[in-house]
A and B are shown apart, each in its own frame.
Chain A
Amino acid sequence: MAQETGHSLAELRFMELALEQARLALEKLEVPVGCVVVKDGEVISSGSNHTSATRNATRHAEMEAIDTLLEEWQKIGFNQLEVADRLSECDLYVTCEPCIMCATALSILGIRKVFYGCANDKFGGCGSILSLHEIAKKLPRGALPGKGFECKGGVMADEAVALFRCFYEQGNPNGNKLSSLLPFVLQNLIDQFASVNPLDKFLFHLIKITSTPSIRLVAV
């Protein structure tokens, strides 16, 4: 995990756009993580966490942005080699360190460099728990080349954390309708941000059983 203090203007600009995506997720009651894919100094794709609405916990921001990109490139008619070439010139800006799943995915895709905001000390795959950006070092001899990618963390980390806190404390900052997904949002929230504490689990079950929609209860 690279923690550097100096960030270029371009880095800050792209991370701000990733944060914008995270804010969009927050508005939709999704976990506030966002990202943008940058090629030749331009944003070519973006995405935000979409796990609650899809009920698919693998729909992280990175996966959303990659799918948008691949769909577009396949429509144009690019074959695998052409796609691989282009991906190797892409950088990703994401507000939170990619998890083990996404870090492996980014390595499989052969992306060039990843800039992230805050570290993910529960399931970070770029140094916090495992180092999958350096997956090539772990592969046995003769295995196919996994190039790995460069990583730089700590880019506007405070802003990314502030969004998580916002999600955690307010739940619903813009007064959107609380959907029936509420228990799922809560479970997500408890799983990802609260310590593994039996009390939290108990609180969740209490909420699930009574269907009492007091998200403030959790915040307390």
Chain B
Amino acid sequence: MLEAMKWEIIHIHNEPDSSLEVHTVEVLVSNIEPKLANSIVRQLNQLCPLDNLRHVKRVQRRTSQGKVELSVILCLADEHEKDTEAVPIGIQPFIRAYNLCPIRTKVAKYPARSKEEWEEQCKIWPTSFHPSTNCDGVATLSDEDMKMIFHYMKVAIQQTKLCYSGAKVLNAAVIVDPVSRKVIASANDQTHPLLTTSEPSARYGCIDRCVATTVPPESHPNTAGSNQDTTLQKFSLRRCSDIFAGVSCLNPWDWAAQELGKQNSLVKRENKFTWHPLRHAALVAIENAAERDRKLFPNSDVSESKSEALDVLLHTTDKCPSKRQKIEEQIIDKEVSDNLKHTEIMRPYLCTGFDIYLVWEPCPMCAMALVHQRIRRIFYALPNPNIGALGSVYKLQAEKSLNHHYSVFRISVPEQDIEELILNTSDNTSQC
């Protein structure tokens, strides 16, 4: 039945919403003799490589009155230096040797992402432009991929359990290995105390209250809760948005203002906390994935002896000949390959290569946690207008300084599908 509905994937680009005005960097440039250009550029590439500015061309070429004029980037300018023409000591002899006169100018800090942007950049200093291969976009997803993505989003939505303290909906997170198409870990928010789920009143209390407060009496003749089926059908996402108040990423500060549940009826979770302000679904899922990693790839005796081998190796390389090192290496290689044969899977580095499905767009804490854990792609269904970090309020995927960047997609799910998926969960969790 779900195949008939229109689900869509929207790629949320990782481009900062800002112009060239903000994203430039200062460099020192100098006019040079065209005859000497080759040798100067070669030497400069060694003396002062422009590592983080590979998109910037080293030489600018202009023609004025039929004469070719070349200027070259010497090095990055020191931002804190007041003297605008101050040159780093390392290249001072070079400057003197070629009798250059350095001046400051600005170049684009980041590679251009569009032809228009590139043309804009070249007005201040020439850059190179490689049309994006669009490898992260939706266009490259196969039908098979889409099916898998929709499937796991359904799994996540079905996990937004209704049964819990105050009986509100929780955010859910599912970490998936897209290669093996297996669930690595999953979790719900654990910011609020969990109540026993056996009492039906606790399970459906939210919907009862919700319908009672938001649906006009005439459209809802039955007493709230008297007939569960009718109550469930009347449940509507739009009208009952207050049931989302318990979603941790939507209201991260809500934990302290929570109605105090009866402490004795609390369900003891498997971990050491009955509630925890920071245990948002994504963070708990990461924890579960890390636990799985530790269990699947423990530091067994093998690796212990390996570590000893490494230790010996490290302490002996100085005085021992390379022969010993070679032997040690062979031992280690064998152990590593044995270990690999044994488990038949490469141990992943954190969550490298894995995707995460979240029903709600994460807050900055969760979004940054997913950067730390090296998640490859994030899929979320509902935006987080309060404090969403992946497009709504912040755009973490566009922060160039971060050491890892994931791709972010929003899956547009028809409202009625979400309602149905959430409601079916409380009756039948085994479905799907």
Asked if B350 lies at the interface with its beta carbon under 8 angstroms from chain A, I say yes
Residues in A whose Cβ lies below 8 Å from that of B277: 70, 108-109
Residues in B whose Cβ lies below 8 Å from that of A177: 307-308, 310-311
User: Could you tell me the distance between the alpha carbons of A197 and B403 in the complex, rounded to whole angstroms?
Assistant: 11
Contacts of B2-54 to chain A: CB distance below 8 A: 51-52
The answer to whether B275 touches A80, judged by C-beta atoms less than 8 angstroms apart, is: yes
Question: Among the listed B257, B260, B273, which residue makes an inter-chain contact with A74, where contact means beta carbons less than 8 Å apart?
Answer: B273
Interface residues on A, range: 35 or more
User: Could you tell me the distance between the alpha carbons of A196 and B108 in the complex, rounded to whole angstroms?
Assistant: 18
The answer to whether B252 touches A108, judged by C-beta atoms less than 8 angstroms apart, is: yes
- Decide: A79 near B368, CB < 8 A? Known: A143-B386, A144-B253: no
Asked if B60 lies at the interface with its beta carbon under 8 angstroms from chain A, I say no
Chain B, 359-400, contact with A by CB distance < 8 Å: what is the 0/1 string?
A: 000011111110111100000000001110000011010010
Which of B166-174, B286-294, B412-420 touches A?
B286-294
CB distance from B54 to the nearest CB of A (A): 9
CB distance from A84 to the nearest CB of B (A): 3
Contacts of A188-203 to chain B: CB distance below 8 A: 191-192, 195-197
Asked if B163 lies at the interface with its beta carbon under 8 angstroms from chain A, I say no
The answer to whether A54 touches B364, judged by C-beta atoms less than 8 angstroms apart, is: no
The answer to whether B251 touches A144, judged by C-beta atoms less than 8 angstroms apart, is: yes
Asked if A125 lies at the interface with its beta carbon under 8 angstroms from chain B, I say yes
Question: Among the listed A57, A70, A138, A214, which residue makes an inter-chain contact with B276, where contact means beta carbons less than 8 Å apart?
Answer: A70
Chain B, 254-265, contact with A by CB distance < 8 Å: what is the 0/1 string?
A: 111110100100
The answer to whether A104 touches B260, judged by C-beta atoms less than 8 angstroms apart, is: no
User: Could you tell me the distance between the alpha carbons of A51 and B349 in the complex, rounded to whole angstroms?
Assistant: 12
- Decide: A110 near B256, CB < 8 A? Known: A130-B394, A215-B314: yes
Asked if B283 lies at the interface with its beta carbon under 8 angstroms from chain A, I say yes
User: Could you tell me the distance between the alpha carbons of A179 and B302 in the complex, rounded to whole angstroms?
Assistant: 11
Residues in A whose Cβ lies below 8 Å from that of B234: none
User: Could you tell me the distance between the alpha carbons of A147 and B252 in the complex, rounded to whole angstroms?
Assistant: 12
Question: Among the listed A58, A66, A105, A211, which residue makes an inter-chain contact with B332, where contact means beta carbons less than 8 Å apart?
Answer: A211
Asked if B119 lies at the interface with its beta carbon under 8 angstroms from chain A, I say no
- Decide: A123 near B252, CB < 8 A? Known: A55-B290, A101-B365, A178-B311: no
User: Could you tell me the distance between the alpha carbons of A66 and B368 in the complex, rounded to whole angstroms?
Assistant: 18
The answer to whether A146 touches B253, judged by C-beta atoms less than 8 angstroms apart, is: yes
Asked if A22 lies at the interface with its beta carbon under 8 angstroms from chain B, I say no
The answer to whether A145 touches B373, judged by C-beta atoms less than 8 angstroms apart, is: no
The answer to whether B401 touches A211, judged by C-beta atoms less than 8 angstroms apart, is: no
CB distance from B53 to the nearest CB of A (A): 12
Smallest CB gap from B372: residue in A: A57
Question: Among the listed B253, B258, B278, B401, which residue makes an inter-chain contact with A66, where contact means beta carbons less than 8 Å apart?
Answer: B278
Smallest CB gap from B363: residue in A: A104
Interface centre among B258, B299, B403 (most CB of A within 10 A): B403
User: Could you tell me the distance between the alpha carbons of A49 and B260 in the complex, rounded to whole angstroms?
Assistant: 33
The answer to whether A109 touches B278, judged by C-beta atoms less than 8 angstroms apart, is: yes
Residues in B whose Cβ lies below 8 Å from that of A187: 349
CB distance from B62 to the nearest CB of A (A): 31
- Decide: A145 near B293, CB < 8 A? Known: A122-B403, A191-B404: no
The answer to whether B365 touches A213, judged by C-beta atoms less than 8 angstroms apart, is: no
User: Could you tell me the distance between the alpha carbons of A74 and B277 in the complex, rounded to whole angstroms?
Assistant: 12
CB distance from A169 to the nearest CB of B (A): 14
Asked if A140 lies at the interface with its beta carbon under 8 angstroms from chain B, I say yes
The answer to whether B286 touches A56, judged by C-beta atoms less than 8 angstroms apart, is: yes
Question: Among the listed A63, A138, A196, which residue makes an inter-chain contact with B52, where contact means beta carbons less than 8 Å apart?
Answer: A196
Asked if B317 lies at the interface with its beta carbon under 8 angstroms from chain A, I say yes
Asked if A212 lies at the interface with its beta carbon under 8 angstroms from chain B, I say yes
The answer to whether B387 touches A139, judged by C-beta atoms less than 8 angstroms apart, is: yes
Smallest CB gap from B333: residue in A: A211
- Decide: A81 near B314, CB < 8 A? Known: A130-B364, A195-B52: no
Residues in A whose Cβ lies below 8 Å from that of B252: 104, 108, 146
Question: Among the listed B254, B276, B314, which residue makes an inter-chain contact with A213, where contact means beta carbons less than 8 Å apart?
Answer: B314
- A residues bordering B, Cβ < 8 Å? 51, 54-58, 63, 66-67, 70-71, 74, 77, 79-81, 83-84, 99-105, 108-110, 121-123, 125, 129-130, 132, 135, 138-140, 143-147, 172, 175, 177-184, 187, 191-192, 195-197, 210-215
Beyond A123-B403, A180-B307, A192-B403, 5 additional contacts (C-beta under 8 Å) are A58-B369, A103-B364, A130-B394, A211-B329, A211-B332
17 A-B residue contacts at CB 8 Å?
A58-B287, A67-B276, A84-B255, A99-B368, A100-B364, A103-B364, A108-B252, A110-B253, A125-B364, A130-B399, A135-B387, A146-B253, A177-B307, A178-B307, A182-B307, A182-B310, A183-B349
